[in-house]
Structure 1
Amino acid sequence: MMSLYLLNTKNTYTVAALMEIAKELGKEDWDFSQNPCDGNPNWVTPTGNLSQSKNVVICTCAHNDSCHVVNITLMRQDLTGVLPPSLAKLPSIKVINLAFNYLNGTIPNEWASTKLEFISLSGNRLSGSIPTFLSNITTLGYLSLENNLFSGKVPAELGQLKNLYLL
């Protein structure tokens, strides 16, 4: 059984959510005995890495040692799972970048409750229609869905997103 690094007793749900996200994505190399918020190479691709793959988990930490995940970037990681519904369990998440993997399925309904500002899912195997509920993410400014297997038209409701600068 892997040991679990607890950010603090208030944030055990954060680590549990990251464990669920890893399982849903098929991400097997996160080391939960390490703090995901301390810049450990297990959680962040070292600076200067010339590879185009990116493995980044960024947190914001308050003065009371309370840390919250705000960015998960896993580009070119050869992930073969599905988009994680449990992403919605991270209340401070702003950025999800899962570009250029082998993820399949659809965009989870649970994401509608997030405050995401940046979603990059290009270059995967996502299918179905682009969901209308994305227009409920009023904080969304960047949405990249190209090079997937989506069908149908882009929902007109996305045009109502006042912060959206790239679609």
Structure 2
Amino acid sequence: MCAYEISEETGNLLGFELLNIRAIKGLTGNLPPITNAPKLEILLLWANKLSGNIANSISNASMLKELDLGDNLFSGPIPKTLGNLRHLERFQIVNNNLITGSTIDHEWSFLSSLTNCRNLSTIDVSGNPLSGVLPTYIGNLSKSLQYFRAKKCEVKGNIPMEIGNLTNMLVLELGYNKLSGFIPTSIGLQNLQSLGLSSNKLGGPIPESLCDLERLYKLNLGLNKLHGSIPSCLGNITSLRYLYLDSNKLSSAVPLTLWNLKDILEIVLSSNHLHNSHATDAGNLRSLLTLNLSKNLLTGEILSSFGGLQTLVLLATYNL
């Protein structure tokens, strides 16, 4: 594969409204300072081999609406000057080696600057070793924010209650981190469609406020330390298609209400301490592809209507 060096002239983008270099694989070198880009609205440089720091001069592209630097080799801090991009709508820097603005306490100062971007709809910083904790001022981000992804970022600490201020959120993905504490009740965001908190160290019960998510399509709380019961009201979320509660410490009976989710595709409840006080009547689940109840404390007759599962691809019910 050929490698192409990005030139210093790229920093002078006078007259451009769109710069898309994602089609050139193997583009190398540093991103030069942006010196003159009064009309640049879209900058897409993802999936190359660009390295070095993201210069503070990125803010000189003052009309920028979309910035995607994902899947490169960028390192160093995420610039605090991003907040000067007042028209920014999408910010994506996935899979680099970027850190927060402070090497001492790993404070997410870049996130504080993004609170000035009132049109921001997407933030994706997944796959960067940001470390630190999620700051309370995450709740000050734009009410337009719909997608917030910080997966595999080595984040620790609690999920701040202030996250409930982001009332238009559609997707919240914080999986594969080191988050601890309880799932805040404020996370019951009315418009949320996908909630991913898997592979953390979250404890406590599953909050019943999640049942208020009437548009929820995917709920992934697997691989945590959650205990107590599975809220029966989860069976009222008729939009739910994917439910993952595996590898926790849940100890209730499997709620009968789950078998009312006739359009659900996958239910994974394995590796808990669940028991059954009745046979599992899954015959109404006309679209079910995966049902995993394995490694629990289920006994006796588990399935009373196995024959009705016409679409089932994977069934796992073996127990300890």
Q: Same fold (TM over 0.5)?
A: yes
Counterpart in the other structure of 2:167: 91
C-alpha distance in structure 2 between counterparts of 1:101 and 1:160, whole Å: 29
The answer (yes or no) to whether the contact 1:54–1:73 under 8 Å persists in 2 is no
| Shift in CA distance, 5/121, structure 1 to aligned 2, threshold 3 Å | same
State the shift of 1:54 in Å: 6.2
Aligned length, in residue pairs: 130
Alignment gaps of 5+ in structure 1: 9-25, 46-51, 56-65
C-alpha distance in structure 2 between counterparts of 1:77 and 1:109, whole Å: 23
| Shift in CA distance, 67/124, structure 1 to aligned 2, threshold 3 Å | closer
C-alpha distance in structure 2 between counterparts of 1:84 and 1:127, whole Å: 15
C-alpha distance in structure 1 between counterparts of 2:172 and 2:109, whole Å: 18
The answer (yes or no) to whether the contact 1:94–1:118 under 8 Å persists in 2 is yes
**TM-score for the superposition, normalised by structure 2:** 0.36
Counterpart in the other structure of 1:16: none
Among candidates 128, 133, 156, match of residue 80 of structure 1: 156
The answer (yes or no) to whether the contact 1:82–1:104 under 8 Å persists in 2 is yes
C-alpha distance in structure 2 between counterparts of 1:103 and 1:68, whole Å: 25
Provide the aligned C-alpha RMSD in A: 3.1
Report sequence identity in percent: 25
C-alpha distance in structure 2 between counterparts of 1:158 and 1:150, whole Å: 16
Among candidates 18, 30, 42, match of residue 110 of structure 2: 30
Counterpart in the other structure of 1:53: 127
Among candidates 108, 128, 133, match of residue 184 of structure 2: 108
Counterpart in the other structure of 2:294: none
State the shift of 1:68 in Å: 1.3
| Shift in CA distance, 134/38, structure 1 to aligned 2, threshold 3 Å | closer
Structure ranking higher on relative contact order (CA contacts 8 Å, 6+ apart): 1
State the shift of 1:33 in Å: 4.2
Question: AA paired with 2:153?
Answer: Q
The answer (yes or no) to whether the contact 2:179–2:202 under 8 Å persists in 1 is yes
C-alpha distance in structure 2 between counterparts of 1:79 and 1:127, whole Å: 16
Question: AA paired with 2:110?
Answer: W
Question: AA paired with 2:214?
Answer: T
Counterpart in the other structure of 1:156: 232
CA deviation profile, 1:50-107 (whole Å, cap 9, x unmatched):
xx7169xxxxxxxxxx981100000110001211221221221111000000001111
Counterpart in the other structure of 2:216: 140
SS in structure 2 of the partner of residue 69 of structure 1 = coil
The structure number with the bigger radius of gyration is 2
C-alpha distance in structure 1 between counterparts of 2:143 and 2:183, whole Å: 27
Alignment gaps of 5+ in structure 2: 1-79, 88-105, 130-141, 244-320
